[in-house]
């Protein structure tokens, strides 16, 4: 089941942290970069981030999360994470499909590490196309991807 998560609820915010920290650690290990901002997020950071969160819940446990901000009719995806214990169960696909169907979404955009080949491949299979290559302030290569609805 996919449900809206409320970052004003400490239990929902902690559930997101419980998913995103191990997911981002798996990404950090994969790309050899430990500066991923989500590794140091706290419940208070999530409460103040201004993103809308949805969680994939199994047996009352949040095992995947997507968050975004809407700017006009463009959905800027900030997080799409699945707990490593739930990898390869199509949870990310379901979360992405769920938010893609929200009212008035005409374009999706997301950024990820260029070396995160599984994420880049996932977005490619989901219909995203490369729109820009960039670097973080400390030099990590990123790709920005977009999909028109």
Tens digit of each residue's pLDDT, the chain (149 residues)? 999 999 999 999 999 999 999 999 999 999 999 999 899 999 999 999 999 999 999 999 999 999 999 999 999 999 999 999 999 999 999 999 999 998 889 999 999 999 999 999 999 999 999 999 999 999 999 999 999 99
Q: Which of 92, 98, 100 is nearest to 75 (CA)?
A: 100
Q: Using CA atoms in the order 10, 16, 21, 22, what is the torsion angle rounded to 10 degrees?
A: 130
pLDDT (0 to 100) of residue 95: 98
- For residues 73 and 106, the answer to whether their CB atoms sit within 8 Å is yes
The CATH code of domain 2-148 reads: 3.40.630.30
**Cα 22 to Cα 38: distance, rounded to the nearest angstrom:** 10
Q: Which of 10, 31, 29 is nearest to 21 (CA)?
A: 29
**Cα 123 to Cα 145: distance, rounded to the nearest angstrom:** 8
Other CB atoms within 10 A of residue 46 CB: 24
> Is the torsion defined by CA of 29, 109, 45, 37 positive or negative?
positive
- For residues 17 and 41, the answer to whether their CB atoms sit within 8 Å is yes
pLDDT (0 to 100) of residue 144: 98
């Amino acid at each position: 089941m996919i449900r809206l998560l409320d970052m004003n609820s400490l239990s929902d915010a902690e559930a997101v942290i419980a998913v995103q920290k191990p997911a981002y650690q798996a990404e950090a290990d994969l790309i050899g970069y430990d500066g991923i901002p989500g590794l140091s997020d706290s419940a208070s950071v999530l409460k103040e981030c201004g993103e809308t969160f949805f969680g994939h819940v199994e047996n009352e446990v949040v095992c995947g999360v997507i968050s975004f901000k809407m700017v006009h009719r463009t959905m800027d995806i900030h997080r799409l994470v699945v707990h490593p214990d739930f990898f390869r169960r199509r949870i990310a696909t379901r979360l992405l499909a769920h938010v893609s169907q929200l009212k008035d979404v005409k374009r999706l955009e997301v950024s990820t590490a260029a070396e995160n080949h599984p994420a880049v491949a996932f977005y490619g299979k989901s219909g995203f196309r490369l729109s820009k290559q960039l670097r973080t302030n400390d030099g990590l290569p990123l790709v920005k991807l977009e999909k028109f609805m």
